[in-house]
Every structure is written in structure tokens, then in C-alpha cells.
């Protein structure tokens, strides 16, 4: 009332009542010295405003702070002198494959489960935000030493690596982490986040499922990687790819029984680019799907001109394998090349089977039903090779070259190779020893009973 009288105009104020309601009280002065009072229940309007403010600063799926709120917090903390802070940028490994195979609804449930696990990892003073997609950021406002940050990063990698049960399905993913330290790597939110993201790219290039601290040289590496990504997009359009064919030989007769198609990239400026450099990049960007289709079609076309008893083997990446059009692509490639299905062999690694076994196995059975042979590559290096042999009738298992390399010096490797060969015989599965490069290795794999050999 006093405020209205002094202002000579209407004065109002919101009052929170004990029962939770919010009432807007307004007083309008009258010329005769009196006033008109109005009491209005504005609870719903106030709650709506609060909800709008919350939505503007929080992720609607997980309820975590979003990029806007995170930047405000980081800038506020970095403005305080004498404090060292850490920013950890997190990116989920294989999340896109989950979305592609199981659908976005399951993907959303997985993101919420990940958010819960990440939150449980934090200590007092730490905070977490979701930037969007499968990207999260953890902020440590006051870090005494980098060891505390390393410990947190290790813990996050461990908990995310554990199997999730989503909608009754076991799902295994991973996480890569890039870390930047303020003020050394940046003194405002945008710069420190950018540096942490650069370190994240480095972590992913190291094989994923790990973490990496930012270093000054990474900026140049990031720019080079970005250029390589753009070049990779053009490579398929400008016929820069070529297939090299590695012989697969019968160990007893030493006759060639087939060839494995190996992709090579002839860069116009850099020359021959290592597959170890561009294949992971192709998988990360999704380019592996069209590139893989080109390899499949070209390999079938080339094999059609070979003798009728010589087959061709083509590798499939996890992302390419989970394409809903894979079976159609295989049929189309065989038809266009007029190549019998029995002369095509598709090689997969255990990583193909790590997510959504049922769908994956159904696709495998469909393709095998066409007459195409299916081989498990790099056998013995994954999580549970033996269990996959029980789940699916593979036509071939390829013993990883790491075992063959140690045959002459490791009794354990020799025992493993012998056990795999015996297992193959009992299951009616051909065994191929990879990485046979010397006469001594050839003699040893023959002694173990391997059916086929291949170089490295």
C-alpha cells in the first residue's frame, strides 16, 4: 500500500503461501486517498515460468544441465583466481550402432542409464552436463592435482564399459574421454571445452575406451584429421580407392583357394594412406557404409573373371554389417557381377555380435541362407569367441596373426592354435592361420593341422 501511494501507480508483489500457492497482490491508489486491492492466484503462471527457465538450462531427456548452464558455471568458476579446474568431454563408443539397430527409444533409455552411472561417479564439487546426442561433460571446479582427474576418468571408463540391461536386452558400449585443465589449456568456457574436445578426438583415435589429456600439438593434429575426413569423402567419388588381393592358400597342397579383398587408398597428395588411419575414420563418420558397398561390388566383379574354384573374401565392419540394407546389397552385388553366392565369403569380427545378438544372428542366417560363406576374423582376440561358435554355424574361423607370430617361442600359443584347429575339425569348420610369413611358421601351422594359410 505504501509503495503504491509513493509511486502514485499500481504496485504488485507475489507472495508464496504456506500451502504452496503463489498469490499476486496488487494495490492501485485512488484520487480520494483510498486504494483498490486485488489478490490473484498466479500459481500456474509462476510454475510455468519456472518450468520454462528450467527447460532452457536443462536436458529434457536426462534432466542434467545443458550446454548453456554448463558454460555459465565454467565461466563463473574460472573467473576465480588461484583455482585449477578440469573439463572432461565424454563421447559414448558404439552408441550410434545401438540407435541404428535397436531404435531411438532404446537409445534414449540407454542415455538415461548412462547419465545415472556417470552421476554416481562424481564427488562433491563435481558437476555433469549433457551437450546433446551421446556427448556428456564432467566439470571439476577445484582440482588439486591431475591424479584426481585421472582417477575419475578411469572410473568412468570402467562403469560405462559394464553391460547395460535396457528393455530386457544386454547392451555393451564404451566411452572415450578428452581432458583439458584450466587455466593452462584455456581460461574461458569456450576455449577449455574446445581443447577438451580436441583431446577427445585423440582418445578416440587411440582405440576408444580410454582417456587423453590435451597437449598443444593436438590442435594441429585435429586440423589434419579434419582435412583427412574431407578428403575421404571425395576419395570414393574420384576413384582413389583400390583393392589389393591377398592369397588364401591350402596348407597341404599350397594351391590358392581364394583371395581376401584389402582396401587401399591412393591419396593424390599423401600417397598410400594406411588402412589403420582411414578405416577408423570411415567408421566414425559413417562413410564405411558406402565405401564398404563399393568394395563388395568391386570384389564380386573382379572375382567373376577368376577361375570358378577361386573365391573372394570381403571384410564387413560392425557399422556396415548392421545396415538394414546389407542383405539386399549382397544379393545385388552377386547378381550384377553374375557371381555364384558360394564364391563369396564375408568376414566379421566379434565386435559385430556384441550388440543386439538376435537381430545380428538373424541377418547372418539370412545371408548364409543365400549360399554365402561366413567367417569369423581375428578369432581368439575378443571377449567370448567360443560362445559365438555355439550361437552361429560359421564356415570358417581365422586364427589371429598374434598367435601365429609367437608359435615358435610360446608353448601357450601353440597349444591355443592346436585347440582351435581341433575345435574346428569337431565342428566341421575350416581354420585359416593369418600372418604366415616364413617357412618356419608354415611348417608349424601345418603341424597344428590348419587347413588354410594367409599372409599379413
Please write the tens of the pLDDT for every residue from 252-276: 899 999 999 999 999 999 899 888 8
pLDDT confidence bin for 202, thresholds 50/70/90: confident
Compute the distance between CA of residue 50 and CA of residue 14 in angstroms, rounded to an integer. 14
Mean predicted lDDT score pLDDT of the chain: 85
The yes or no reply on domain 61-214 and CATH 3.40.50.2000 is no
pLDDT confidence bin for 400, thresholds 50/70/90: confident
pLDDT confidence bin for 92, thresholds 50/70/90: very high
- β-pairing, 430-433 vs 211-213, is unpaired
- Alpha carbon 196 to its chain's center: 18
Domains 61-214 and 223-394 agree in fold: no
In this structure, of 69-73, 218-222, 335-339, 346-350, the range with the lowest mean pLDDT score is 218-222
Please write the tens of the pLDDT for every residue from 136-181: 999 998 888 889 999 999 999 999 999 999 988 889 899 999 999 9
Residue 327 pLDDT greater than 60, yes or no: yes
* Alpha helix (H) residue ranges in 180-309: 189-205, 218-235, 275-285, 288-303
Residue 378 pLDDT greater than 90, yes or no: no
pTM above 0.75, yes or no: no
Strand order in the sheet with 174-182: 126-132, 135-140, 85-93, 174-182, 211-213
Q: Give the position of cell 576455449.
A: 191
Q: Tell me the range of 81-90, 275-284, 331-340, 405-414 where mean pLDDT is highest.
A: 331-340
pLDDT confidence bin for 390, thresholds 50/70/90: confident
pLDDT confidence bin for 1, thresholds 50/70/90: very low
- Cβ neighbours around 280 below 10 Å, total: 17
Please name the residues in contact with 142: beta carbons below 8 A apart, sequence gap of 6 or more: 77, 83, 84, 85, 125
For position 157, what pLDDT does the model report?
96
Q: Does 7 or 280 have the greater pLDDT score?
A: 280
For position 318, what pLDDT does the model report?
79
pLDDT confidence bin for 407, thresholds 50/70/90: confident
Residue 403 pLDDT greater than 70, yes or no: yes
Compute the distance between CA of residue 341 and CA of residue 369 in angstroms, rounded to an integer. 10
In this structure, of 88-102, 214-228, 264-278, the range with the lowest mean pLDDT score is 214-228
Averaged pLDDT, 337-359? 83
**What are 43's three cell numbers?**
500459481
CATH fold for domain 223-394 = TIM Barrel (3.20.20)
Residue 375 pLDDT greater than 90, yes or no: yes
- Give which of 454, 289, 307, 438 is closest to 377, Cα–Cα: 454
Count how many residues are written for the chain: 456
- For 241-259, the DSSP string reads EEEEEEEEEETTT--EEEE
- Cβ neighbours around 332 below 10 Å, total: 15
For position 345, what pLDDT does the model report?
97
Residue 338 pLDDT greater than 60, yes or no: yes
Averaged pLDDT, 337-352? 91
Half-sphere exposure of 252 (CA within 13 A, CB side): 4
Q: In the 8-state DSSP scheme, what is residue 215?
A: -
Q: Would you kindly state where each structural domain of the chain is located, as residue ranges?
A: 1-51, 61-214, 223-394
Please name the residues in contact with 325: beta carbons below 8 A apart, sequence gap of 6 or more: none
Residue 49 pLDDT greater than 80, yes or no: no
Q: Give the position of cell 492466484.
A: 41
pLDDT confidence bin for 34, thresholds 50/70/90: low
Strand partners, 243: 263
Amino acid at each position: 500500500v505504501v509503495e503504491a501511494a509513493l509511486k502514485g501507480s499500481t504496485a504488485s508483489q507475489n507472495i508464496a503461501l504456506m500451502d504452496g500457492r503463489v498469490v499476486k497482490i496488487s494495490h492501485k491508489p485512488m484520487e480520494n486517498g483510498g486504494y483498490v486491492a486485488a489478490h490473484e492466484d498466479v500459481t500456474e503462471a509462476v510454475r510455468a515460468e519456472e518450468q520454462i527457465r528450467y527447460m532452457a538450462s536443462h536436458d529434457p531427456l536426462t534432466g542434467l544441465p545443458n550446454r548453456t548452464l554448463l558454460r555459465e558455471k565454467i565461466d563463473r568458476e574460472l573467473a576465480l583466481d588461484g583455482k585449477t579446474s578440469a573439463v572432461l568431454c565424454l563421447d559414448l563408443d558404439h552408441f550410434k550402432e545401438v540407435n541404428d539397430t535397436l531404435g531411438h527409444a532404446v537409445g534414449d533409455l540407454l542415455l538415461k542409464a548412462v547419465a545415472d552411472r556417470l552421476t554416481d561417479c562424481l564427488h562433491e564439487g563435481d558437476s555433469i552436463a549433457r551437450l546433446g546426442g551421446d556427448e556428456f561433460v564432467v566439470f571439476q571446479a577445484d582440482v588439486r592435482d591431475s591424479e584426481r582427474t585421472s582417477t575419475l576418468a578411469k572410473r568412468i571408463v570402467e562403469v560405462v564399459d559394464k553391460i547395460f540391461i535396457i528393455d530386457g536386452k544386454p547392451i555393451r558400449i564404451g566411452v572415450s574421454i578428452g581432458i583439458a585443465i584450466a587455466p593452462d589449456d584455456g581460461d574461458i568456457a569456450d576455449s577449455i571445452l574446445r581443447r577438451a574436445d580436441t583431446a577427445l578426438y585423440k582418445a578416440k583415435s587411440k582405440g576408444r575406451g580410454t582417456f587423453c589429456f590435451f597437449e598443444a600439438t593436438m590442435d594441429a593434429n585435429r586440423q589434419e584429421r579434419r582435412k583427412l575426413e574431407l578428403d575421404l569423402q571425395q576419395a570414393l567419388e574420384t576413384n582413389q580407392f583400390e583393392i589389393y588381393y591377398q592369397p588364401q592358400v591350402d596348407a597341404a597342397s599350397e594351391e590358392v583357394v581364394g583371395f581376401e579383398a584389402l582396401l587401399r587408398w591412393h591419396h593424390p597428395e599423401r600417397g598410400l594412406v594406411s588402412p589403420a588411419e582411414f578405416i577408423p575414420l570411415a567408421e566414425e563418420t559413417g562413410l564405411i557404409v558406402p565405401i564398404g558397398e563399393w568394395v563388395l561390388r568391386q570384389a564380386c566383379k573382379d572375382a567373376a573373371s577368376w577361375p570358378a574354384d577361386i573365391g573372394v573374401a570381403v571384410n564387413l565392419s560392425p557399422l556396415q554389417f548392421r545396415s538394414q540394407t546389407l542383405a539386399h546389397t549382397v544379393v545385388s552385388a552377386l547378381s550384377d557381377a553374375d557371381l555364384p553366392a558360394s564364391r563369396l565369403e564375408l568376414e566379421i569380427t566379434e565386435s559385430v555380435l556384441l550388440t543386439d545378438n538376435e537381430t545380428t544372428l538373424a541377418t547372418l542366417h539370412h545371408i548364409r541362407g543365400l549360399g554365402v560363406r561366413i567367417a569369423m576374423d581375428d578369432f581368439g582376440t575378443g571377449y567370448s569367441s567360443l560362445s559365438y561358435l555355439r550361437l552361429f554355424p560359421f564356415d570358417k574361423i581365422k586364427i589371429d596373426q598374434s598367435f601365429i607370430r609367437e608359435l615358435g617361442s610360446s608353448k601357450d600359443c601353440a597349444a591355443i592354435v592346436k585347440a582351435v584347429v581341433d575345435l574346428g575339425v569337431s565342428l566341421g569348420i575350416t581354420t585359416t592361420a593369418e600372418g604366415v610369413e616364413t617357412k618356419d611358421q608354415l611348417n608349424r601351422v601345418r603341424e597344428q593341422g590348419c587347413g588354410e594359410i594367409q599372409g599379413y
